[in-house]
Each structure stands twice: as structure tokens, then as C-alpha cells.
Amino acid sequence: MSTKRRIIASLVLRDGIVVQSIGFERFLPVGRADIAARFLDDWGVDEIVLLDIRASAEARRIDLATVEAVAASCRVPLTVGGGIRSVEDVRDLIRAGADKVSLNRAALETPELIGAAAEQFGVQCIVASIDVRRLANGKAHVFADGARRDTGLDAADFARSCATAGAGEILLNAADRDGLRNGYDLDLVEAVANAVNIPVIALGGAGQPSHFVDLLSSTGASAAAAANMLHYSEHSVAAIKSVLRNAGLDIRLDSRSDYRHVPFLADGRLDRRPEAELADEIFEYIPKEII
């Protein structure tokens, strides 16, 4: 049996706070990263990715105090990215509480850092983050500089070279779907998942729970990541997991509510239960479990 398919929350940092990103161009404020992490952890998310999207461009590294605060607020694995340029940066981030690091610009500009970091910290610790846009002819190219500049590299080829260099996972970001809520780029994910034998995390385009079902039932992605929809939908993680479970997908259910009897609207949001049903509800006191 393989591992459970993972639901990963991506926290995008800009100017020190979590933001909602739309097309890598417009940004709406969400709030403090450690508070977002605490909520997501409570809701049963399987992993958290914390990315400072301006760090590389501003020639600095993601703020260590923020990493420490986020790490202290969650009991799930934490991947951190933003301005990592050396093995020392990787070491500092791990000491601050990161379980894995995500290399985006470094994977393109200094691919030898992937191997050097993997040698020190193990391949399981290194995530290659790839921003991809489709060209007018449908080809999927790797983009650099905040998904603005076409590198001319094919997405699947580049993913393969990252895996060969020593990456343990691929974080595949369909940049042209960022914030659009129109579903994952399934063909892109499948092409990359077929090209490598390391886990692929798909990001970009999730807007409702059925998108997760589409992704995990039709591609080889190990994990589905989302950013915006997890912040702006009520009970998002539990709702997604409930829909995935009902679709027969093997996921981890560890939150206190499994939403088994809760109806959903077509867009995956919680529906109001009928008055008569609520009146018949038997209230049961469930004490908080003491670990």
C-alpha cells in the first residue's frame, strides 16, 4: 500500500504576512503565518509549505523568526522556501524548525546546491519547486523570476534533472492557474509524475473539493497543495477530506470531525442541514481527548 494522498497547505508570504496570490501579480492580505498554521494544523491538514515569494528578488532569506513561530504552531511537516542560496541557509532553516526546504531559483541557477544540500541533509529534505506556464502552443515551460521569464526548459525534463541532481520531491506550480480556482493542470501533473520516480506535489488552480478528487484519481500526484481556497472556505480541509473519502481515495483522517453526515453544495461548501433533521439531533457531550 502506498502512502496516504496528502493535502498540503501552501502559505505564501509577502512583506512578512500571508497573502492570497492571483496570477503572481495581485496580492490580498490574509494574516499572520503562525496563526494560519495553527488553524490548518487543527483542521487536519497533512503538511504545510511556507514560501516567501519576494525573498529571492530582494536578495535576502525568509525570516527565521517567522519560520520558528510557524514550526512551533504546527505538528505536521513544514517545508520552507524563499531565498535559499547555500548549504548554510538550509542548515539554519532546519534548525529554525523546517523539516524540508524548497529550492526554486536555486534549482534553476545553482542546481549543484540541490546535490550539496542532499548530501548533507538527505534527499528526503530537498524539494525542488518549479513554476510552470503553458505557452500559446500548449507547451509547458519552466518560468523564472516569480514566474515572469520563460527559461525555455520543458517542465518534465527539468523535473527529471532536479530528481537526478538529488531532489526528493517536486513542488509543481501551475503558475498560470494561480488564484483562478479552475482546477489543477492535470496533463501537466501527469507528464511530470511520469517523468520522475519521486513524489510530485501539485499546486495551482484548486478552487473546490472536486478538483482534489480529479487530481488524485486521475494523476500520479502524491499530494495536492492549495493556498487560497484553504483560507477562504469554511472548514476547508475537513470538507476536502470528506469529499475525497467519499470518492474512495485513501487519505488520512485525523481531525475530530470527519463531516460524515454533513451535506455539501455543488461547489463543495457546507450546506445548511434541514430544520427537521436538526430538531431531531441528539446532542452528545464528547469531552476533549487528553493526550
Partner 1 sequence: MSAPVVIVDYGMGNIASVRNALAALGVPASLSSDRMDLAAAEAIVLPGVGAFGEAMANLHSLDLVGPLTEQVVGNAKPFLGICLGMQLIAERSEEQGDHEGLGWIPGAVVPIPPRDGFAVPHVGWSELAFGPDDPAFARLDRESCFYFDHSFTLRTESGLVRATADYGVPLTAVVGRANIIATQFHPEKSQRSGLKFLRNFTNRFAARQAA
Binding site for partner 1 (CB under 8 A): 1-6, 41, 44, 46, 68, 71-72, 75-77, 94-100, 119-125, 168-169, 196-199, 222-223, 252-254, 289, 291
Output phi, psi for 92, to 5 deg. -60, -40
Short-list 6, 17, 28, CA closest to 228: 28
Classified as helix, coil or strand, 130 is strand
Shortest Cβ 2–partner 1 spacing (Å)? 6
Shortest Cβ 119–partner 1 spacing (Å)? 6
Shortest Cβ 108–partner 1 spacing (Å)? 22
Shortest Cβ 158–partner 1 spacing (Å)? 18
Of 110 and 255, the one with the shorter C-beta distance to partner 1 is 255
Of 137 and 197, the one with the shorter C-beta distance to partner 1 is 197
Neighbours of 252 (CB within 10 A): 15
Strand partners, 264: 270
- Is residue 168 within 8 Å of 124, Cβ to Cβ? yes
Of 199 and 207, the one with the shorter C-beta distance to partner 1 is 199
| Cα–Cα distance for residue pair 66/52, rounded to 1 Å | 10
Short-list 192, 260, 212, CA closest to 5: 212
Of 53 and 76, the one with the shorter C-beta distance to partner 1 is 76
